[in-house]
Structure 1
Amino acid sequence: MAQATVVLSFHEVLLHQSDVDLLDGPYWLNDTIISFYFEYLERVLFTNNDELLFVTPEVTQCIKMVGTDEINTFLEPLGINRKKFVFFALNDNNLPDMAGGSHWSLLVYSKPESCFYHLDSSSGSNHNVAWEFASHLISYFSPTGSINFVDKECLQQSNGYDCGIHVICNTERLAECAHRNGHIGMCNMTVKISPGSKRREILEIIRNLSSSH
């Protein structure tokens, strides 16, 4: 069966053929593909930048479901104390023990700016999810202070299935801005995104990594 065929083992992520097939579109991306790209950003594209943290959807989902006093259990092993920018891939799944949901958006914590930035390619769809998650994190990141929450303008998707690709593109662009400028609030996120091209690019990355492994 295609689902049982392992295409690539990349650090913490195991990609099956059924995951990779989602990139051929027009399909909604699952947790595994987004986790793979977050790992790729950390391990390959931004390997020398210790100020950026890309939190996979699985870990984000766990953090959503635990008490504030348990958040550190998930973030401390990731070196959270050294990080200035933390990227969370959020979906609207509210079931604690399983993957799922129907829409992805991006929440970024900027320590230098003391702000959570939320980028939603279907504006408003995940606002409540992001606000609740940010509220959950505020007492962890700033026990005595306050952190702003901003719905940051970004390019809107043109269909019902490319939200995951937009999260990936937005994460990469904001990470570049953070690395280059030390802040993300002024980064223009309305630049054109080509979901089809990005899907093909990720497929090529997976093929190259698979052949080299």
Structure 2
Amino acid sequence: MRSYDIILEYYDVSVYKEDFDNLRDDQWFNDNNLTFWYEYLERSEVYTSLDHPEYIVLLRPSMVFLLAQSPNPLDLKDVLPPLDGARFIFLPINNNANVDLAEGGSHWSLLVVDTKKKIGYYYDTLEDINVQEAEIVAKKLTTLLDCGKLTLYSMPTPQQTNGSDCGVMVCMLTSHVLQKFVDSGSSADVDMHIAEDAISPSRGRQLMSYTILELISKYGRKVGDNKDIEFSFTRKKEDQSSSSSESSSENTESGESSSESIQIPVKVLTTHR
């Protein structure tokens, strides 16, 4: 089977063999790996068992990239999911700044915005390396939501021990925070801290692999109706040498983990109207 062959069509996401191969240990994740997991979470019991699932929005990586690069975020109101009624918005952050490169960047992190409290919880598995990108996205989001200002906090986050686990850890961090909402019975007063041993990259890779294989086993290679969506990247019919999330060995993440993480305010972000 070739890397560009589709192994599963899951609603609005096509999973390619390349995407499945990325689930092996020490492989880099691309946008599609995160997009599939977010699509799956939105249709899983973890999400649907929430008291108000409509209050939580999982923005896809391509949407976050578009938001980060847009000169005027207000122009995106008609193409992004409705955000006005959202309480929590999950935004996977990538450090790709090249608008001409659909698949690029070297690191994934996670920003979770509480629109009611006007707080952004920032999780980075590599010592806040993406914090500037998170600040840019947060500032664009405040303009889009017209909420004045947003306080961004860097949260204690389990640290990766290699240069390839940031993508799977963002997927597992998202799952973990959603599970916190379910366990609490309410998303109003959830402890947003993540325990040091709460996230296992290897178990995360195994879980995502098993999920795809189980879906194929139960339902075949097509699950649900595929709608036309605004943000899908065209796959070339050739093996790609670079990853969406971490594109070159020259820009590889450090293998050193943080000796200590503390909750600190990064800065207050204000919108310019």
The TM-score normalised by the length of structure 2 is 0.72
The residue type paired with residue 139 of structure 2 is S
| Counterparts of 2:79 and 2:138, CA distance in 1 | 16
Indicate which of 204, 207, 210 corresponds to 1:201.
Answer: 207
Indicate which of 65, 68, 73 corresponds to 1:68.
Answer: 73
* Partner residue, 2:229: none
- Look at both structures and tell me which one has the larger radius of gyration over its CA atoms: 2
What's the % identity of the aligned pairs?
A: 26
| Maintained 8 Å contact 2:181/2:190 | no
Where do 4+ consecutive residues of structure 1 move more than 3 Å?
none
Indicate whether 1:187 and 2:192 are aligned: yes
Residues 12 and 184 of structure 1, relative CA distance in 2, 3 Å threshold: farther
| Partner deviation per Cα, 1:145-171 (whole Å, 9 max, x = no partner) | 322111111111111110011111111
Q: How does 1:35-54 map to 2 (within 5 A)?
A: 35-44=35-44, 45-48=46-49, 49-54=53-58
The residue type paired with residue 129 of structure 1 is E
| Counterparts of 2:16 and 2:28, CA distance in 1 | 16
Residues 165 and 184 of structure 1, relative CA distance in 2, 3 Å threshold: farther
The residue type paired with residue 22 of structure 1 is N
1:43 deviates by 1.2
| Partner deviation per Cα, 1:162-205 (whole Å, 9 max, x = no partner) | 00111111111112223434247632313412111110111010
| Maintained 8 Å contact 2:155/2:193 | no
The residue type paired with residue 10 of structure 1 is Y
| Partner deviation per Cα, 1:27-51 (whole Å, 9 max, x = no partner) | 1111001100000111113135221
* Partner residue, 2:122: 118
Greater helix fraction, Structure 1 or Structure 2:
1
Indicate which of 69, 94, 99 corresponds to 1:96.
Answer: 99
| Counterparts of 1:46 and 1:100, CA distance in 2 | 29
| Counterparts of 2:206 and 2:96, CA distance in 1 | 27
* Partner residue, 1:160: 163
| Partner deviation per Cα, 1:80-101 (whole Å, 9 max, x = no partner) | 2232111011100011141211
| Counterparts of 1:185 and 1:96, CA distance in 2 | 36
Unaligned stretches of 5+ residues in structure 1: none
* Partner residue, 1:6: 6
Secondary structure in 2 matching 1:130: helix
Unaligned stretches of 5+ residues in structure 2: 221-273
| Counterparts of 1:117 and 1:184, CA distance in 2 | 14
* Partner residue, 1:27: 27
| Maintained 8 Å contact 2:34/2:60 | yes
Higher relative contact order (CA 8 A, sep 6+): 2
The residue type paired with residue 42 of structure 1 is E
| Maintained 8 Å contact 1:28/1:161 | yes
Indicate whether 1:176 and 2:179 are aligned: yes
Q: How many correspondences in the alignment?
A: 210
| Maintained 8 Å contact 1:53/1:83 | yes
| Counterparts of 2:121 and 2:150, CA distance in 1 | 10
